[in-house]
Amino acid sequence: MPCARLLTATERCFNLCSTGKSWPACDHRFWPPAATALRLGLIPFWRISRACRGPLNSEVNGMADIRKLNTADADFQQQLDALLAWESVSDSAVNRVVQDVIADIRARGDAALVDFTNRFDGWEATSPAELEVSLARLQQAWETIPGDQREALQHAAGRVRAYAERQKMEGWTYTEADGTVLGQQVTPLDRVGLYVPGGEAAYPSSVLMNALPAKVAGVKELIMVVPTPRGELNELVLAAAHVCEVDRVFAVGGAQAVAALAYGTESVPAVDKIVGPGNIYVATAKRTVFGQVGIDMVAGPSEILVICDGQTDPDWVAMDLFSQAEHDEDAQSILLCPDADFVARVEQSIERLLPEMQRREIIETALRVRGALIVCRDLDEAAEVGNFIAPEHLELSLADPEAYVNKIQHAGAIFMGRHTSEPLGDYCAGPNHVLPTSRTARFSSPLGVYDFQKRSSLIMVSAAGAQTLGRTASILARGEGLEAHARSAEYRLDEDEG
């Protein structure tokens, strides 16, 4: 297959498609070097191959390079800043493509959606109706997948739903002495769009984690879009949609799917919010349509930070670092430990275990480019560094994690204890796996039921309350030079009080 080096001799080649676990956490990614070729229609995404890179270090000498840092070093903070630096802003080429796609979808609706799907996903659709996947097809997928997969989906879905039920917000009111009633009404969103990666990068867990909280919240209609390169439907993804009772499914992806959800077409209804992971084009499209619709977040590469006391099996820790590194070359895996000898043993485990991994090349690159083994002074300092990193996933591989967890202020999800591996949270523990990345855990939270609910303030002022509040509002309004505001409040005053 042609590779991106045919387009430019200086750029690395990555697979190009409309899928992705979390931007750009997938080995199928739109990257700017190929944007021009795509815009000109020179090559569809699925024809651009991966790799045109030199041999990995592990291929040359069997060793995995991962930087070693020490908090005692004078330049540690500068080294940490460089390690964590991640540029998530799309470049001009990506933005231009996304803007063009959105404009075309808004102008031509279904016709543009069919054209983009044929062009980028290798379809030969002739009508918009071919892009919708029927509920009967979801049922068929559910009935034909292996029994152990059905059981796993049901088990995971039950736990995710049970956890989500505890997050559901309820309305409330209270009555003041003069009879004025104040409160808050909580209502679900009407319609939500769910973007799910498809093709080879198929993640049924993304369906569970995004769809079930919306259903628990009471969202009236859930519209799922999933790219299907060359028309290939992933049975497990469809079965997960059946378990979650998704209302409609369209076999479309990329920026065109986001645009269709945001603005609507003749076939795809416009939604109120778009959630779900995607590649750089999907993320850029979500950022672009924000305001027209709500979005969950613009996610960066996957991350894991392990804080360990040095008493865990080093093989466990190495594999935990691999669990995020295998997502993507830009994923970040970091160990913080006050025991230098243990850190060296973890490095030995990495070197021994890496050659047997199916996604070895991706893991090796991620560890070399963005990974680190950090020796710290003590566990108190580890908490301070951990709070600065504000990781997506934080493992506390400690003897007493419950006593330690109060030191943690910033993390998307905290996995407590040696037996709590991060992948359990990815699939079936219950809490959501859609988490803030790139240090955004300092100010944001995991996806939850509350993301699919809205709050409206309730104000019912009694006649007596209108006298007190009216005078206060009148004074403040006139102080701001807003006469109509003041007079609106004054009209409700009793004449003898005015």
Q: What is the pLDDT along the chain (498 residues), one digit of tens a residue?
A: 333 322 332 233 333 333 333 333 333 333 333 333 333 333 333 333 333 334 444 444 445 689 999 999 999 999 999 999 986 556 788 999 999 999 999 999 999 999 999 998 888 888 999 999 999 999 999 999 999 999 999 999 999 999 999 999 999 999 999 999 999 999 999 999 999 987 556 789 999 999 999 999 999 999 999 998 888 889 999 999 999 999 999 999 999 999 999 999 999 999 999 999 888 899 999 999 999 999 999 888 899 999 999 999 999 999 999 999 999 899 999 999 999 999 999 999 999 999 999 999 999 999 999 999 999 999 999 999 999 999 999 999 999 999 999 999 999 999 999 999 999 999 999 999 999 999 999 999 999 999 999 999 999 999 999 999 999 999 999 999 999 999 999 999 997 654
Identified catalytic residue from 28, 393, 410, 433: 393
Rounded distance between C-alpha atoms, residue 246 and residue 324, angstroms: 28
376, HSE (Cβ side, Cα atoms, 13 Å): 21
**pLDDT of amino acid 57:** 46
Helices 280-289 and 254-263: crossing angle in degrees, nearest 10, is 20
Residue 371 exposure: Cα atoms within 13 Å on the Cβ side = 28
pLDDT at 64: 64
Report the top-level CATH class of 60-86+300-443: alpha beta
Q: Is the dihedral of CA 231, 121, 117, 240 positive or negative?
A: positive
Residue 256, token pair as written in the block: 């065109």
Counting Cα atoms < 13 Å in the Cβ hemisphere of 96 gives 13
Burial of 311 (0-12, 13-18, 19+ CB in 10 A): exposed
Q: Which residue's entry shows tokens 């590469």?
A: 301
CA contacts within 13 A on the Cβ side of 161: 14
- All CATH 3.40.50.1980 domain ranges in the chain, comma separated: 60-86+300-443, 96-168+187-297
Residue from 329, 347, 392, 395 carrying the catalytic annotation:
392
Which pTM value belongs to this model?
0.84
Res 208: pLDDT: 97
Q: What is the pLDDT of residue 20?
A: 36
Whether 393 sits among the annotated catalytic residues: the reply is: yes
The fold of 96-168+187-297 is Rossmann fold (3.40.50)
pLDDT of residue 459: 98
Phi, psi of 124 (to 5 degrees): -135, 45
d(CA 14, CA 31): 8
- Please give the Cα distance from 385 to 480 (Å, whole number): 47
* Tokens of residue 95, six digits: 């933005």
Q: Facing residues of 182 across strands? A: 174, 459
pLDDT of res. 37? 37
Q: CA 445 to CA 436: how far, in whole Å?
A: 6
CA dihedral 426, 278, 206, 355 (to 10 degrees): -40
What pLDDT is stored for residue 90 in this prediction?
Answer: 62
Cα separation, 18 vs 255, in Å, equals 8
